[in-house]
Homo-oligomer: A and B are copies of this chain.
Amino acid sequence: MTESSSSAPLPHVLIIGGGFAGMAAAQGLKDAPVRVTLLDRTNHHLFQPLLYQVATAMLTPGDIASPIRQLVAQQPNVTTLIAEVTGIDAAKKIAYVTYLEEPNTPLHYDYLIVATGARHSYFGKDHFERFAPGLKSLADATAVRNHVLAAFERAEMEAETCHGEGLLTFVIVGGGPTGVELAGAIAELRKYSMRRDFRRIDPQSARILLVQSGPRILPTFHESLSTAAQERLRKLGVEVRLNCKVEEVDELGVRIGDERVASKSVLWAAGVKPSPAAQWLGVEADKGGRVKVGTDCSVPGLESVFVLGDTAAHPTPDGGTLPGLAQPAMQQGAYVADLIRRRVLGEVPPPPFSYFDKGNMAIIGRNFAVLEKGPIRMSGFLAWLAWAYVHIAFLGGFENRIVVAAQWIWSYLTNQRGSRLILEPRKDPWKLTG
């Protein structure tokens, strides 16, 4: 299918996934003598670390997403397709994708880059999902935004009839960066942005619970930063429950240990599950389901197949694996692009991939962040400024950076949210988008 789209018989690099790893790989192949096909299920590259700000009406979807097609418009060697991978025949070098509603459409490749990311995981309790959605796509984030705003609207309307058990109780499951950032953002939304908007309820009366199974929040950070973050959340009025597990989630709320908490708004930030690339490839996975790769990101035994980002268990010198973050994914993408370019040109291969850790950050509400880079640890306003700078600097499109900066400055100065829309979803009547 793609063979005929180019007249030159250049090697064909198939990239599955337009996230941080896939985009970095595509952009890294800009000047390589290859044809690139970049597949994604959606038409946009997403800046996932800011999804929680869309979910809490601080930013709009357009602020954190750019059309993939537009990001590679200047690269004539890249073809972009909206399609979904369903299987891979590594012996024949064919990926099978669902494409134009046609399942099992074969796509031949010379080099394959699998960067299909992760979804949230319910640890086998998938029935939680319906009432405890996670935050991985723009559709997730806008659904959560609609819901959180509607909960306040509904509470205002019911104020006199006194239904609404748990209507203004927000339970966030998981004390990693996403859970902490969500809790902080909802606390701020409630405290500042909505301050003058309601007549019958006090938005400040909304209860926010952050439930963490381990002994501290932000467990990947230094202990002092976990403490600083927890103290900050306490000041914002968030109840942090440590060493607690959410045993059950249903339409009425959650069970935490033996305690029932009524809640109409449970948000899941507790775990991720990689895409099933190991099954597609028929290769070994680690305990978490990630494909075990070599130090050059390739799959052992399949030298033309590379697995990157959240889907890969990439070994580190200390015997661990790389964390599922944007930075390692982007660096892997650039590395593999360089490796393929050299291989195609017959040059010497690059040295093994080595991850340069630019630091680890999380934001808690307005003007407070925790930041860690090697021995450097910061918390507070300066860390927040650093966080804002780094996030704006890495946003996809140039325009997005300007708009996001403007939104943030505005929001910072006024405590108003720019995107508090409850939008009724509507399906495409012509069924082109599937």
Given A199-B79, A251-B430: A43 touches B421 (CB 8 Å cut-off): yes
Q: Is A390 interfacial (CB 8 A cutoff)?
A: no
Chain B neighbourhood of A70, CB < 8 A = 197, 416, 420
- How many angstroms between the C-alpha atoms of A418 and B403 in the bound complex? 10
Interface string of A404-434 (1 = CB under 8 A from B): 0011001000101011111111111110110
CB distance from A130 to the nearest CB of B (A): 5
Chain B neighbourhood of A158, CB < 8 A = 100
Q: Is A272 interfacial (CB 8 A cutoff)?
A: no
CB distance from A23 to the nearest CB of B (A): 15
Q: Is A93 interfacial (CB 8 A cutoff)?
A: no
Q: Is A142 interfacial (CB 8 A cutoff)?
A: yes
- How many angstroms between the C-alpha atoms of A427 and B147 in the bound complex? 10
Contact between A100 and B154 (Cβ–Cβ < 8 Å)?
A: yes
Q: Is A10 interfacial (CB 8 A cutoff)?
A: no
Contact between B139 and A426 (Cβ–Cβ < 8 Å)?
A: yes
Chain B neighbourhood of A160, CB < 8 A = 1, 4-5
What residue in chain B is nearest A196 (Cβ atoms)? B73
- How many angstroms between the C-alpha atoms of A99 and B400 in the bound complex? 38
Contact between A433 and B150 (Cβ–Cβ < 8 Å)?
A: yes
- How many angstroms between the C-alpha atoms of A200 and B263 in the bound complex? 50
**Which of A343-380 touch B at CB < 8 Å?**
none
Of A61-69, A281-289, A295-303, A308-316, the segment with at least 4 beta carbons within 8 Å of chain B is A61-69
- Categorize the interface residue count of chain A: 35 or more
Cβ-defined partner of A196 (8 Å) among B74, B133, B400, B414: B74
CB distance from A80 to the nearest CB of B (A): 8
Cβ-defined partner of A157 (8 Å) among B99, B133, B397, B400: B99
Given A418-B399, A421-B62, A421-B138: A429 touches B43 (CB 8 Å cut-off): no
Chain B neighbourhood of A157, CB < 8 A = 81-83, 99-100
CB distance from A231 to the nearest CB of B (A): 31
Contact between A44 and B133 (Cβ–Cβ < 8 Å)?
A: no
CB distance from A135 to the nearest CB of B (A): 12
Interface string of A38-51 (1 = CB under 8 A from B): 00001110000000
CB distance from A195 to the nearest CB of B (A): 8
Contact between A197 and B73 (Cβ–Cβ < 8 Å)?
A: yes
CB distance from A70 to the nearest CB of B (A): 6
Q: Is A204 interfacial (CB 8 A cutoff)?
A: no
Name A residues whose Cβ lies closer than 8 Å to a Cβ of B: 1, 4-5, 42-44, 60-63, 65, 67, 69-70, 73-74, 76, 78-83, 99-100, 130-131, 133, 137-140, 142-143, 146-147, 149-151, 153-154, 156-158, 160-161, 196-200, 251, 264-265, 397, 399-400, 402-403, 406-407, 410, 414, 416, 418-430, 432-433
